[in-house]
Amino acid sequence: MAEMQCPQWGRIVESKGMRHTFALLLIAAALPVWAAQPVRARHGMVVSRERHATAVGLEVLNNGGNAIDAAAAVGLALAVTHPSAGNIGGGGFMLIRLADGRTTFIDFRERAPLSASRNMYLDAAGKATQDSVTGYRAAGVPGTVRGLEYAIKKYGRKPWAELVHPAVELAAKGFPVSYGLAQSLRGTRGLGGFPESNRIFLKSGKFYEAGELLVQPELARTLERVQKLGSRDFYEGETARLLSKDMAAHGGLVTEADLKGYTVHERAPLTGTYHGYTIVTAPPPSSGGVGILQMLGMLDGTGYEKGGAGSATVVHYMTEAMRRYFADRSEHLGDPDFVKVPLTSLLSPHYIARQRASIDAERATPSSQIKAAVFDGHESVDTTHYTVADAEGNVVAVTYTLNGGYGSKVTATGLGFLLNNEMDDFAPKPGEANMYGLIQGEANAIAPGKTPLSCMTPTIVLKDGKPVLALGSPGGPTIINTVLEVIVNVLDFGMNVQDAVDWPRFHHQWMPDELNVEAGFSPDTVALLEKRGYIVKRTGAQGEAAAIRWNNGWLEGAPDPRADGTAEGH
């Protein structure tokens, strides 16, 4: 990665692999000298975290597959090439907008094992342990293999075996480790504590260098069985037998019965409107779609955008919307198959108007003064995201995860894939913070077979019934705010999609009461925010958005320069 200094505009970073230049703008300047350009194509586009997976998706489109086929192939390839989050040992969400205008949401999120219990991660003193974060007991029942197969059987056109094949090849023959992956593996804590993870990903302490081949024969054999036998192998066959045996030997909870009983849920997406656009987004058990619609609703009518992108005024209004939403999230959001989520109340225009009116135009409202709403009755983390569009008009936004980076740090013996630590996305102790600092309530308490609440927020924006933007991001609770910021950067501030992704980000989640800002915010802006009453903390990179925009007959792909994101089209 080459770097040069520009005294007026800050640091310019150029990455040949990303096919575009990222200008880290100084917000105090408010204007870039030139705009970063997205990757443009006429017929199809794939944007993902890793170049081999992006290339796999484009090849599927070139060979007659649709966006759903390509999305499945990308997800399987990422399970090989992006081990910190790509997975067959985790789960996620797929948001689809079909060429005929139909939309659907495929929930293949992990589930709590049948032997899970409400207080399973509390010690004798009633304090939360680390068992929900590291080790075999942290893993929920994986959903990725069954979810991807479900999607292509219902909405794709290519044979399953053909879509799995590139992942088999990448695992069996290996791929060159990128500099970023080498550094990630070297710097990750916990992998060395589990023999299979230490051997496969750390070379037993010798570590991978950039350019070395990472060959994963155990994962290749697992994928070969899945290629030949479909998801039946993973949930009822040899893979299921080996995984449940390994779990039993190490105190894990996932059994053959858990795997056999895993089902995919297809749900209706949430929809709303904002400034003449239709927002199609993730329903519960994602908390993200509710957040996007609620926060956009709070911003609508404030005139906040007149302050200009990156101004203290804009950050103030958006932050106040964020903290009000996250307070509601802590109390009301959970698995809709287990708890009654008050969606109608949370998204009612009257309630959102009340929330909007509570924002002080000049001062931050302390989080201690913001409480979750009380309604009268109910009505009926390390992660990765990729986005695919085809020539027919099908659009797919997929966010899937192991939760923390490299999940539970455990690689299943003889199977080659990392296990998730998704059980920490429940509230191990309702009312206390999880690994992301999120406070969660009884609605997200652990129960057998329940789905943990998620922040994953795949989203598609329509205008007059046609797609104009599709996106998502990893990042735990920051996902929701990252997606919000990219949306308003395009819709309200007129940025091209690459600038919208590149623009410095910020995050507030109600508790802890602090505003995190990326590099790129000027000291003057930070000082103005502190004067309004914010506790501002500088933070590292927030999220890794992957976005596609439709613009005058062009598909514009925008990978995130915060990572090794890539976009390819045809």
**pLDDT score at 33:** 41
With beta carbons less than 8 A apart as the criterion, state whether 537 and 463 touch: no
Under the banding of pLDDT at 50, 70 and 90, the label for residue 12 is very low
Look up residue 24 and give its two tokens: 């880290």
Q: Strands, DSSP E only, in 16-90? A: 20-23, 39-41, 45-48
Under the banding of pLDDT at 50, 70 and 90, the label for residue 34 is low
Each residue of 425-477: pLDDT tens digit?
A: 998 888 777 666 767 778 999 999 999 999 999 999 999 999 999 999 999 99
**pLDDT score at 375:** 52
With beta carbons less than 8 A apart as the criterion, state whether 36 and 28 touch: no
CA distances from 317 to 139, 275, 307 (A): 38, 17, 10
Under the banding of pLDDT at 50, 70 and 90, the label for residue 351 is very high
CA geometry: angle 258, 90, 452, nearest 5 deg: 70
Residue 383 C-beta-side C-alpha neighbours within 13 Å = 34
**pLDDT score at 436:** 64
Radius of gyration of the chain (CA): 22
Q: Give the whole-number percent of the chain exceeding pLDDT 90.
A: 87
| Residues annotated as part of the active site | 383
Kindly tell me the sign of the dihedral angle through the C-alpha atoms of 199, 203, 207, 211.
Answer: negative
* pLDDT higher than threshold 60 for residue 195: yes
Q: Which amino acid is at 488?
A: V
**pLDDT score at 382:** 75
* pLDDT higher than threshold 50 for residue 488: yes
| 59 vs 246: CA distance, rounded Å | 36
**pLDDT score at 43:** 97
**pLDDT score at 435:** 65
Look up residue 229 and give its two tokens: 């036998």
- Give domain limits for the chain: 46-174+215-370+379-494
Least confidently predicted of 69-83, 227-241, 326-340, 370-384: 370-384
With beta carbons less than 8 A apart as the criterion, state whether 20 and 498 touch: yes
Look up residue 170 and give its two tokens: 């990448």
Q: Which amino acid is at 312?
A: A
CATH of domain 46-174+215-370+379-494: 3.60.20.40
Each residue of 314-339: pLDDT tens digit?
A: 999 999 999 999 999 988 999 999 99
Q: Which amino acid is at 184?
A: S
Q: Stretch 524-530: mean pLDDT, rounded? A: 97
Distance of CA 319 to the CA centre of its chain: 20
**pLDDT score at 30:** 39
With beta carbons less than 8 A apart as the criterion, state whether 500 and 490 touch: yes
Kindly tell me the sign of the dihedral angle through the C-alpha atoms of 562, 170, 177, 38.
Answer: negative
Is the preceding omega at residue 512 within 30 degrees of 0, hence cis? Answer: yes
